[in-house]
Amino acid sequence: MSFLHKLLHPCRRVDELLSQAMDEPLGWSDRLRLNMHLRMCGNCQHVEQQVDVLRQLSVSMGELDESSDLPVDPLPKQPPRRPGT
């Protein structure tokens, strides 16, 4: 197994961490590994965008504290592209 594979979280764990970050702050190690993975994985970047939209909706409905770990970005102007299009 390569050094990068040991350092980076797998996509499944990234998905879990993106969801977990809506509820509680992540530790520094998870945040670092998550950010490194997101810089290299387009599929997980799309998942992050979807989680951000859900977070925004939750904040607007008053169901989530605005001070949680994920940043609030404006809604994307265009939907994410599907692979192969």
The model's pLDDT over 1-59, given as tens digits with 9 standing for 90+, comes to 566 556 778 899 999 999 898 888 999 989 999 999 999 999 999 999 998 898 888 87
List CB contacts of 15: < 8 A, sequence separation 6 or more. 44, 47
Please give the pLDDT value at position 27.
92
Q: State the CB neighbour count (10 A cutoff) for residue 57.
A: 12
Q: Decide if pLDDT at 77 tops 60.
A: no
> In the structure encoding, which two tokens stand for residue 54, read together?
């859900």
Choose among 49, 13, 53, 52: nearest CA to 33: 13
Kindly compute the dihedral angle of the four CA atoms of residues 61, 62, 63, 66, in this order, to the nearest 10 degrees.
120
Of residues 63 and 43, more confidence is placed in 43
